[in-house]
């Protein structure tokens, strides 16, 4: 009997080592990883630069506290601010904590403007984390069920629907911010209209609201640029990062620009482990590797290659609704629940994920090469065809 709490429906496999886009289990069976720890292992497994940075840091200093100066935290803050064109960075441990920081920042921003009950506009089918505030912001009833009472102060609208936000702006004077994913990941790899973020930027500017982007899954090269917003011509006021930032070492970040960057004062927020020397060393090594290996461009090219390959092999297949994505964030939507595909793929040595019940989600490491991408296509397309033919 396991003494671990029953919080995960775990698959019957335990991995013991990895290299690049490959993983091996306890029996020595090899698997092609097309999920990357749910968008975490952007550099793949056992990346030499990352391993060296972690080992060197662990031999000298793993953790102190945010009560003291942390030089690597200063280096990482400067690097992230330069890459994003933003001003200030708060470092934490996870995506949920990064979004929690954004939510607290927005509320304090509102109170500083004299708004007693500041509200944040959030989206249906979104996912922002599993703390009480972030699960309330999340637009998925399954995540919230059983944890009521939820946190107040959120106004929910459909994703990709500008008209509904304009309507709220006319009738709700308490709104202070919009929190939105540039691409919805857990919601089924939902790609908004090209001008969506630009419209949100204009609305926020005209009403004095903060535009807050949850780039926990889309950030660090995942969609073909360092951050997804860099493909839209806008800059957010606040941005949350995590997942690919530490390549498996837990770290999150909440970045802010302009007036938003000046909201937090000493004592407003904090983190025990956030931005410690080990996590910062991992993040700095990750960012250096992404730039040195030109992984943003590689993600864009390999992602398009996989989408084209799946589109060709699945063309005319009844039951395939749409193949969509941005960079190496790819969804294959079927016309029925397809969770069984995860185990079928695993049995054949391919690691995939299903989200929103009917969307096969691929989030391969950014280091994936073309021949490996071809193997993903050649393994997955027949699985989907067989699955649809039998159901």
pLDDT tens readout for residues 295-308: 999 999 999 999 99
Q: Which residues are annotated as a binding site?
A: 95-96, 127, 130, 214-217, 271-272
Which among 269, 266, 261 is positioned nearest to 109, based on CA atoms?
Answer: 261
> For the chain, first and last CA: distance in Å?
35
What does the mean pLDDT of the chain come to? Answer: 97
Residues 105-114, mean pLDDT to the nearest whole number: 98
pLDDT on residue 24:
98
Residues of the chain above pLDDT 70, percent: 100
CA 304 to chain centre: 19
CB atoms within 10 A of CB 203: 19
pLDDT tens readout for residues 169-198: 999 999 999 999 999 999 999 999 999 999
**CB-count burial class (<10 Å; 0-12, 13-18, 19+) for 147:** exposed
CA distance 215 to 182: 7
CA distance 68 to 236: 30
Q: Which residues are annotated as a binding site for N(2)-acetyl-L-ornithine?
A: 130, 271
Helix (H, G, I), strand (E, B) or coil at 200: helix
Q: Helix H segments across 230-315?
A: 277-292, 295-313
| The CATH number of the domain covering residues in 48-292 | 3.40.640.10
**CB-count burial class (<10 Å; 0-12, 13-18, 19+) for 263:** buried
Classify residue 192 by its DSSP letter. P
Q: Helix H segments across 317-369?
A: 340-347
* pLDDT for residue 88 is more than 80: yes
CA distance 9 to 106: 35
Q: List residues with catalytic annotation.
A: 127, 214, 243
The whole model's pTM is what? 0.97
- The CA–CA distances, whole Å, from 185 to 104, 189, 325, 326 equal 23, 5, 10, 11
Residues 373-381, mean pLDDT to the nearest whole number: 98
Residues 92-109, mean pLDDT to the nearest whole number: 98
| The CATH number of the domain covering residues in 15-47+294-389 | 3.90.1150.10
pLDDT tens readout for residues 143-174: 999 999 999 999 999 999 999 999 999 999 99
- Lookup result for tokens 């202070």: 176
CA 357 to chain centre: 19
pLDDT tens readout for residues 316-336: 999 999 999 999 999 999 999
Asked if residue 82 lies in contact with residue 74, where contact means CB atoms within 8 angstroms, the answer is no
Per domain, the residue ranges of the chain are 15-47+294-389, 48-292
pLDDT on residue 1:
84
pLDDT on residue 384:
98
pLDDT on residue 133:
97
Asked if residue 43 lies in contact with residue 18, where contact means CB atoms within 8 angstroms, the answer is no
Residues 196-224, mean pLDDT to the nearest whole number: 98
CA distance 155 to 220: 29
Classify residue 184 by its DSSP letter. B
């Amino acid at each position: 009997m396991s003494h671990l709490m029953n919080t995960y429906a775990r698959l019957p496999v335990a991995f013991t080592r990895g290299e690049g886009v490959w993983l091996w289990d306890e029996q020595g069976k090899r698997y092609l990883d097309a999920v990357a720890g749910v968008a975490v292992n952007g550099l793949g497994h056992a990346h030499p630069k990352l391993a060296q940075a972690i080992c060197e840091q662990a031999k000298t200093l793993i953790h102190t506290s945010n009560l003291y100066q942390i030089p690597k935290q200063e280096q990482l803050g400067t690097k992230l601010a330069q890459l994003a064109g933003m001003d200030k960075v708060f470092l934490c441990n996870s995506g949920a904590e990064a979004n929690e920081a954004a939510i607290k920042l927005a509320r304090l921003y509102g109170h500083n403007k004299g708004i007693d009950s500041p509200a944040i506009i959030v989206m249906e089918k979104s996912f922002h984390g599993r703390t009480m505030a972030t699960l309330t912001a999340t637009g998925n009833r399954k995540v919230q069920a059983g944890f009521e009472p939820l946190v107040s102060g959120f106004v929910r609208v459909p994703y990709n629907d500008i008209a509904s936000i304009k309507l709220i702006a006319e009738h709700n004077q308490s709104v202070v911010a919009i929190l939105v994913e540039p691409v919805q990941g857990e919601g089924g790899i939902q790609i908004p209209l090209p001008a969506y973020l630009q419209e949100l930027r204009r609305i926020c500017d005209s009403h004095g609201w903060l535009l807050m982007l949850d780039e926990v899954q889309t950030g660090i090269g995942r969609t073909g640029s360092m951050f997804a917003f860099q493909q839209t011509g806008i800059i957010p006021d606040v941005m949350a990062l995590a997942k690919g930032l530490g390549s498996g070492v837990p770290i999150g970040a909440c970045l802010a620009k302009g007036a938003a960057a000046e909201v937090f004062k000493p004592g407003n927020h904090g983190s025990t482990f956030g931005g410690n020397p080990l996590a910062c060393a991992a993040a700095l090594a990750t960012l250096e590797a992404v730039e040195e290996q030109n992984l943003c461009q590689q993600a864009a090219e390999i992602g398009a290659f996989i989408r084209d390959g799946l589109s060709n092999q699945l063309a005319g297949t009844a039951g395939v609704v749409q193949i969509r994505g941005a960079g190496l964030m790819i969804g294959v939507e079927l016309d029925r629940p397809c969770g069984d595909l995860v185990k079928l793929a695993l049995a054949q040595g391919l690691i995939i994920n299903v989200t929103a019940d009917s969307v096969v989600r691929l989030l391969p490491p950014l280091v994936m090469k073309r021949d490996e991408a071809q193997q993903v296509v050649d393994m997955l397309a027949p699985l989907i065809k067989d699955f649809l033919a039998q159901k």
